[in-house]
């Protein structure tokens, strides 16, 4: 296992939130620029007292990107993070509800992020697509309004509609968002949904049958429903799995108990991702190593999981072909 170089492994990251990618340095710099006091000392900045504190902190850090330049800086730093992890392409989830400075200005939010990501690409950093995410607590009409706005803007950087947030707290939301997701699909956007994490297998079913999801974020609790595992395998619907995040939130007690390998062996396409890497103090090569070790994955198994990340990504086809070629030669 130690002989596998997970940094050089050609791969994509397909389940990662910009809100969870702000390193301490960036947070401190943005707070200073805006003349805002930090909620606690720099050394303890990423120490959280439970989920409520964590979510409040997300809103705090996103609220620090107030100008187009600050948004662009945040996006550029994300591309640098991807390059440092050996990522060839990323689908980046952004939930506008966290970005208080851009309320009612979705076009401005996308424009600022695109400015940073375009500058990063010109400097040879990885290509990034944006997945604009609904929050589960939003209403059906708010969701439709957001999709209509995305289809009006038609920004080439935006590749997908997403939905995230605590399913356990929000209750079943598949029926509520079905219309918005159908509209997005008709408008040419890809569709991805958080499901099967704070919800059980029924959330994954809703993501497939009500939202028409091309990919499921998390999805691990599908393992609780044998028929559903068969559906995911038959339809080759990929899961964007984040093992450390699942352990941190107490879904499983250790990696050996995590269902990623059982899902993989049942024929479900699984990929490895970091979710909120700065806040979890994590990078993608570490997550691969941490996941592969307890299951004794060999190079070919790792190659297969990396291939899933590329195939299931919303990258342009020519980039997928290049990355898969690099992976075959790895």
Alpha helices in 123-173 (DSSP H): 140-153, 167-170
> What residues contact 186, with CB distance under 8 A and at least 6 apart?
none
Cα 75 from chain centre: 14
Element (H, E) at 269: none
Q: Are 174 and 206 contacting, i.e. CB atoms less than 8 angstroms apart?
A: yes
DSSP states of 177-225 as a string? HHHHHHHHHHTT-EEEEEESSSS-HHHHHHHHHTT--SEEEE-GGGGG-
Backbone angles phi, psi at 241, to 5 degrees: -90, 140
Mutual angle of helices 68-84 and 24-34, in 10-degree steps: 170
d(CA 221, CA 197): 6
Q: Are 194 and 162 in contact (CB under 8 A)?
A: yes
Helix %, strand %, coil % of the chain (to 5): 55, 15, 30
Active site residue 197: yes
Residue with tokens 């980039």: 319
Query: What are residue 195's DSSP bridge partners?
Result: 218
Which residues are paired to 16 by β-bridges? 92, 275
Rounded CA-CA distance 321/78 in Å is: 23
> Which position among 179, 197, 257, 293 bears the catalytic label?
197
- Backbone phi and psi for residue 323, each to the nearest 5 degrees, phi listed first: -65, -40
Catalytic positions: 197
């Amino acid at each position: 296992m130690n002989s596998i170089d997970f940094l050089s492994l050609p791969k994509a990251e397909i389940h990662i939130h910009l809100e969870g990618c702000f390193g301490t340095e960036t947070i401190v710099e943005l707070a200073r620029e805006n003349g805002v006091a930090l909620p606690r000392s720099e050394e303890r900045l990423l120490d959280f007292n439970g989920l409520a504190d964590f979510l409040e902190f997300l809103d705090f850090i996103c609220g620090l990107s107030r100008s187009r330049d600050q948004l662009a800086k945040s996006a550029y730093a994300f591309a640098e993070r991807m390059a440092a992890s050996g990522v060839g392409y990323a689908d980046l989830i952004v939930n506008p509800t966290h970005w208080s400075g851009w309320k009612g200005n979705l076009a401005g939010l996308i424009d600022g992020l695109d400015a940073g990501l375009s500058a990063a690409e010109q400097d040879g950093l990885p290509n990034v697509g944006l997945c604009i995410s609904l929050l589960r607590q939003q209403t059906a009409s708010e969701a439709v309004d957001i999709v209509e706005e995305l289809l009006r803007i038609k920004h080439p950087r935006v590749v997908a509609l997403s939905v995230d947030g605590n399913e356990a707290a929000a209750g079943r939301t598949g029926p509520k968002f079905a219309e918005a997701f159908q509209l997005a699909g008709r408008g040419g956007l890809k569709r991805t949904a958080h499901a099967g994490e704070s919800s059980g297998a029924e959330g994954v079913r809703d993501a497939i049958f009500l939202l028409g999801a091309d990919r499921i974020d998390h999805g691990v609790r599908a393992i609780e429903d044998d028929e559903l595992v068969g559906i995911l395998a038959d339809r080759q619907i990929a899961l964007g799995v984040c093992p450390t995040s699942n352990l941190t939130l107490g879904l499983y007690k250790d990696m050996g108990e995590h269902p990623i390998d059982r899902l993989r062996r049942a024929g479900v396409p699984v990929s490895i991702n970091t979710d909120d890497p700065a806040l979890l103090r994590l990078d993608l090569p570490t997550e691969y190593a941490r996941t592969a070790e307890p299951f004794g994955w060999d190079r070919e198994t790792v190659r297969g999981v990396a291939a899933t990340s590329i195939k299931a990504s919303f990258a342009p086809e020519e980039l997928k072909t290049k990355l898969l070629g690099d992976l075959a030669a790895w």
